[in-house]
Structure 1
Amino acid sequence: MTVKDLATLTPSGYPAVSLLMPTHRTPPDNQQDPIRLRNLLTETRRRLEADESVPADVAAAVYDEIAEAAAHVDLRQVGEGLALFASPGQVHVRLLETPVHERVVVADTYEIRDVVADAARRHRYWALVLSEQPTRLWSGDGSTLVEVTTHGFPFTHEGPGGTQGLPRDYGQNPSAHRDERHRQFFRDIVTGLTQVDALDTRPVFVLGVERYLAFFSAEWTAAIAGTVPGNYDHSGPHDLHRILAPHLAAYQAFEQIAALEHLDVARGANRYAAGLPEVWQLARQGRGAHLLVEEDYHSAAWIHDDHLHPAEQQPTSAPAGTLVDDAVDDVVELVARQGGDVTFVGDGSLATDGRVALILRY
């Protein structure tokens, strides 16, 4: 799911259960993760059963959904956090690369702020490995790659010049025939990739020998985020991420530079906001077109009377203020919910803007 998809994630009805817990990559800390998950599931069951507005059969069904999803999570292959969401007939699982505060929430909506912020910080992409036997498409999400097996993928070249071999008719030009069959093969690949990308548009990285890269480039009319020449037919997900890592970093740097240039243009047009309080206020009004945030910027804050105050300045007038543990993540969710873009930039890039800036729609 994209950042915007996550921001509009809607439960099927009440109760909407959100279970969030920090996880650990290595021992001895990760040895406690299964125990913590069991405890949170016990708390989930207790809250559902204690909620008089939830029929017993609905409470049992929602609990079973979230418990079954948890049972399929391999806690040896996680990042920094786990999020489980369930409502009647619906369940979602997200493995997070950023830590979360442990909690169970039963409400009308899902607690998705941490998940949206995590997704915005991660780089999602398509990795297309060109080959005749076969061409494979991988869905990249940070360091995790999962093979796509829809829309024709993986593609195998089965016609003449592929598994059938070249024709031996002296009246034909075998080389020209092979090239035409290759062009058709790559047209089919482009059709499949176009369909996948239309559902979830991401930067496309292409790996393959020079000849295949040339055939693909002749058919693919959209931008290519990066090309990696070479034979990677037998590379698994870990090897592919290692190979792609410098290209992903270069593309991410390019995106950050472009976002900062757009911010400069918005400054010149006086169509931007800077600093967390002002950005938070305008984001709540739905005016955020593009949010820029420094990578490691987090900030607790008080919300009081529709205004944001620094954590060290607790409001004293009525009504009482509400302390949020990270107002930055709140702004990320607000902008994403309203269809805006979010770009995380290097620390220090927004030093004169209070570490966060917002390009305004108007």
Structure 2
Amino acid sequence: MKNKTTVAFVCFMLLFSYSCQKRQQESSLISGFNRNAIEVESLDDLFGKRGKQIALETTDEALVGKVGKIIKRKDCYFILSGENKILQFDNNGRFVSTLNKLGAGPDEYTMITDFACLINENNEIEIWISDFKKIRKYRKAVDSWEQFASIDYPYVINKIHIINDSHILLLTGQNDNCLTISNGKGEKISSYLKSEIPFMVFKPVQFVDFGQEIIFQQGVSNQCVIYSPFDNSFTERRIINEKRFLSSKMLQDLFSKYEYDYLKELPGYSYIRTLRKVKGQILIDFFMDKKRHVSFHADNVWRTFTYDPKDITENDDLECLSTIGVGDGLTSFIMFKNNENEDENPIVVEY
């Protein structure tokens, strides 16, 4: 009888251990991450193919200046230049048009804190911009972009992600929760995540499409909020099952201790800078052991490219690594690097 009890207990513990491991794996957004992956020597080796480089046409009208964000839709690049204008280039880098409505007129904006592109039911591109407490919608009429609608809000709109005409995901300010789902009239549908300064790290691409869900990373921590458009739900999960990375609580504790100087303390920790998912392929950009690492997963294999951040200033080929977070592409990973000719527009790098 004693032997049967012992065997039953061992079986229970094995089953319990397996269940715990399974729940732990399921609690992470990305399963099977391996930071001891195959080490590669270049970005081309990382992605398993040669990157496409597109030199953007340079004219007086099409000077990009400081790149704020790049979106690729319908074989065109839409590039935020500072907070002032959005330039459109075709797939070969030829200048197409510019949205430049800075001013105080009825269809003009005071700033562009973020922008998004929507392909409407007529297969037209719409550019939506966040302008303080307003979202402005522009559509091309002949050769110019004209405002056709706007949405007013009672709070600041920092970042936007268009789900559809009636559901917009916002990163907001001046309210208790920083994530808000709004309808097409500016009315709140739901909100989530208490506003915490360490999480309000404004990134060029703040919301990441991750399959059928949308991901908001909590600052540079290993925690994220997942929004599901199917049932309008928010859930929190770890990004990867790796304890070495900063958790959201650790990030909050750093801010409590150092306030805004917490950013200077980050090099002493391991943290995730950003992540992407394109056509089932996953990219994670993280900092660990005083080095930057870019890990890429495709065909059930993890590959990692590692480098010292100081090398970026000495190696032009590495420059685009610092811009991984600026690109939003549906079918490719988009970065950029500066042209060797300082008077020329930057070069888009696409994998």
What is the TM-score normalised by the length of structure 2?
A: 0.25
What is the TM-score normalised by the length of structure 1?
A: 0.24
| Bigger fraction of residues in strand | 2
| Bigger fraction of residues in helix | 1
Between structure 1 and structure 2, the one with the greater Rg is 1
